[in-house]
């Protein structure tokens, strides 16, 4: 059992391990196969997941889980290595992307449907959907008309997997066609943006996905893993996971960061668009109409209201006390974050088999001058949940892979042009713990 002091000391002494930096992995490797179907903030590189699976799930028939599945990096890699997998994420966009990325489709089927899609598009009637008022804030009228036509043509596709594939391309393309500043992860209007032709940019992305699917499909067929099961649920991971206890061999996940990304805001274009179609996207409609409630359930978001409870971590207690001295509302956000993470670690413990490993990829940060030692807190909370140490890995994030900067004061991700910016994370940790 590590005391808080010993955990602090151990992390202080950790040296970065070169073999975990994946310095030489180029973009073509980090975006290989289906990994680049849809932009997604704070996704981890597939190389980390692959190495963890190879190290900790050496035989093929194991079950891998990611309770913060995001855009499905873990599930894609698990499938490619022949492992069953299950993921959860509160974000419906994450589910749409992950299901698409883990479903190989016969290449011929896609090219046939592409041709059919074009004919549906050409013959689309004059449509006027009843859009959410925010749609006109983000898109100009001619773009909305074009997007309506594309959406109409996609919905004519009967094959479920193919339709979802096209919807995934459509969802990715929404940001391109909107007034949203492309280089910003925050919802920011770009007054000077020249919006591309929606159909052309949709087809361009669709075609790149079709190519990627072909490689994914062929590779899986060659290894015999095409029908290896993957399941993605839209779930709040602070609640009971929708699986039995002791069924998982390996967990690989990267939790959300506190007060950094507002995932719900980031995906509002897809949420708004699909939410306008209650017949096909009933839940999305509910989320986009009750957006503030929906947003509140994301871990790490602000404005959750004050919760109470034991952190199961001395280090967390000290961080929250220190923040209280500087900014109460920030202290509340961070306290809520640690309380939520405690619940997730306890569920991870329940679903893992004895001897199963949990690998948490996590970075530390600082808010208003207080160090937020997420990795160290995770270790303490996991110990309290019944895990023992296997390995603590410090990895350098090579410069080319770190995109975001942080605002020194607020800790939020910011742009290059902000004078009070600091590098977000130069290092992160892989905390590997075992269920005992
Ligand atoms: C760092 S990202 C994970 C990215 C993922 N590793 C990937 O490669 O795409 C964290 C994820 O946690 C999700 N999340 C936030 N709060 C959640 C909650 N309460 N339950 C489940 N997922 C949540 C976010 O939607 C986001 O997708």
Contact 262, 295 (CB under 8 A): yes
Confidence of residue 375 (pLDDT cuts 50, 70, 90): very high
In the beta sheet, which residues pair with residue 406?
A: 413, 422
Is 41 close to ligand 1, i.e. is its CB under 6 Å away? no
Q: Which is more confidently placed, 86 or 1?
A: 86
The pTM score is 0.95
Q: Which is more confidently placed, 426 or 92?
A: 92
Contact 381, 341 (CB under 8 A): yes
Tens digits of residue pLDDT in 233-288: 999 999 999 999 999 999 999 999 887 778 888 899 999 999 999 989 999 988 88
Q: Supply the residue whose CA is at minimum distance from atom 10 of ligand 1.
A: 256
For 344, other C-beta atoms within 10 Å of its C-beta total: 24
Q: What separation in Å is there between the alpha carbon of 90 and the centre of ligand 1?
A: 7
Q: Which of 252, 256, 301 is the best mutation target for the ligand 1 pocket, counting ligand atoms within 8 Å of the beta carbon and taking the most?
A: 256
Is 68 close to ligand 1, i.e. is its CB under 6 Å away? yes
* Integer Cα distance of 48 and 77 in angstroms: 10
Tens digits of residue pLDDT in 78-103: 999 999 999 999 999 999 999 999 99
pLDDT for residue 61:
81
Q: What separation in Å is there between the alpha carbon of 337 and the centre of ligand 1?
A: 13
Q: 369 burial class (0-12, 13-18, 19+ CB within 10 angstroms)?
A: exposed
Confidence of residue 409 (pLDDT cuts 50, 70, 90): low
Is 233 close to ligand 1, i.e. is its CB under 6 Å away? no
Closest CA to 196 of 232, 267, 143: 143
3-class secondary structure for 81-130?
CCCEEEEEECCHHHHHHHHHHCCCCCHHHHHHHHHHHHHHHHCCCCCCCC
Query: What is the average pLDDT across 349-359?
Result: 98
Backbone angles phi, psi at 404, to 5 degrees: -75, 150
pLDDT for residue 306 is more than 60: yes
Question: By three-state DSSP, how is residue 63 classified?
Answer: strand
Q: Supply the residue whose CA is at minimum distance from atom 7 of ligand 1.
A: 43
Q: Which of 68, 76, 301 is the best mutation target for the ligand 1 pocket, counting ligand atoms within 8 Å of the beta carbon and taking the most?
A: 68
Q: Supply the residue whose CA is at minimum distance from atom 18 of ligand 1.
A: 236
Q: Would you state the torsion angle of the CA atoms of residues 44, 45, 49, 54, taken in this order, to the nearest 10 degrees?
A: -160
Query: What is the average pLDDT across 377-389?
Result: 98
Domains and CATH numbers, the chain: 1-91+228-259+304-436 (3.40.50.150), 105-225+263-297 (no CATH)
Residues 6+ apart with CB under 8 A from 204: none
Residues found in the chain:
436
Q: What separation in Å is there between the alpha carbon of 256 and the centre of ligand 1?
A: 5
Provide the CA 166 distance to its chain's centre, in angstroms: 20
């Amino acid at each position: 059992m590590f005391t808080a002091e010993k955990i602090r000391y151990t992390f202080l002494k950790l040296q970065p391990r070169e073999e975990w930096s994946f310095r030489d992995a180029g973009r073509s490797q980090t975006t290989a196969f289906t990994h680049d179907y849809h932009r997604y903030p704070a996704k981890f590189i597939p190389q980390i997941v692959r190495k963890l699976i190879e190290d900790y799930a050496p035989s093929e028939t194991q079950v891998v889980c990611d309770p913060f599945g995001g855009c499905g990096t873990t599930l894609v890699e698990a499938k490619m290595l022949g492992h069953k997998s299950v993921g959860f994420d509160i974000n419906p966009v994450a589910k749409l992307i992950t299901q698409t990325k883990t479903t190989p489709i016969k290449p011929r089927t896609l090219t046939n449907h592409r041709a059919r899609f074009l004919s549906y598009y050409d013959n689309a009637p004059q449509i006027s959907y009843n859009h959410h008022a925010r749609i006109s804030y983000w898109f100009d009228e001619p773009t909305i008309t074009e997007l309506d036509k594309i959406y109409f043509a996609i919905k004519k596709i009967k094959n479920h997997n193919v339709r979802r594939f096209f919807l995934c391309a459509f969802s990715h393309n929404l940001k391109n066609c909107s007034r949203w500043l492309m280089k910003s992860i925050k919802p920011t209007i770009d007054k000077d943006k020249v919006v591309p032709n929606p159909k052309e940019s949709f087809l361009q992305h669709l075609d790149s996905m079709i190519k990627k699917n072909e490689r994914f499909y062929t590779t899986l067929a060659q290894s015999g893993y095409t029908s290896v099961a993957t399941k993605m649920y839209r779930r709040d991971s602070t609640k009971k996971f929708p699986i039995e206890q002791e069924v998982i061999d390996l967990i690989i996940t990267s939790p959300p960061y506190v007060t950094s990304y507002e995932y719900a805001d980031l995906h509002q274009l897809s949420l708004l668009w699909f939410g306008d179609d209650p017949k096909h996207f009933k839940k999305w409609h509910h989320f986009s109409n009750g957006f503030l409630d929906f947003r509140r359930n994301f871990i790490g978001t602000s404005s959750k209201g004050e919760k109470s409870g034991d952190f199961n971590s001395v280090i967390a207690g000290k961080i929250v006390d220190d923040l209280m001295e500087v900014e109460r509302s920030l202290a509340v956000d961070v306290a809520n974050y640690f309380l939520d993470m405690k619940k997730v670690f306890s569920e991870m413990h329940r679903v893992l088999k004895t001897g199963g490993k949990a690998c948490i990829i996590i970075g530390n940060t600082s808010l208003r001058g207080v160090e937020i030692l997420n990795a160290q807190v995770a270790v303490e909370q996991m110990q309290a949940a019944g895990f023992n140490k296997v390995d603590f890995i410090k990895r350098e994030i090579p410069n080319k892979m770190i995109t975001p900067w942080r605002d020194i004061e607020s800790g939020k991700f910011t742009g290059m042009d902000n004078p009070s910016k600091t590098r977000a994370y130069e290092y992160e940790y892989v905390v590997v713990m075992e269920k005992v």
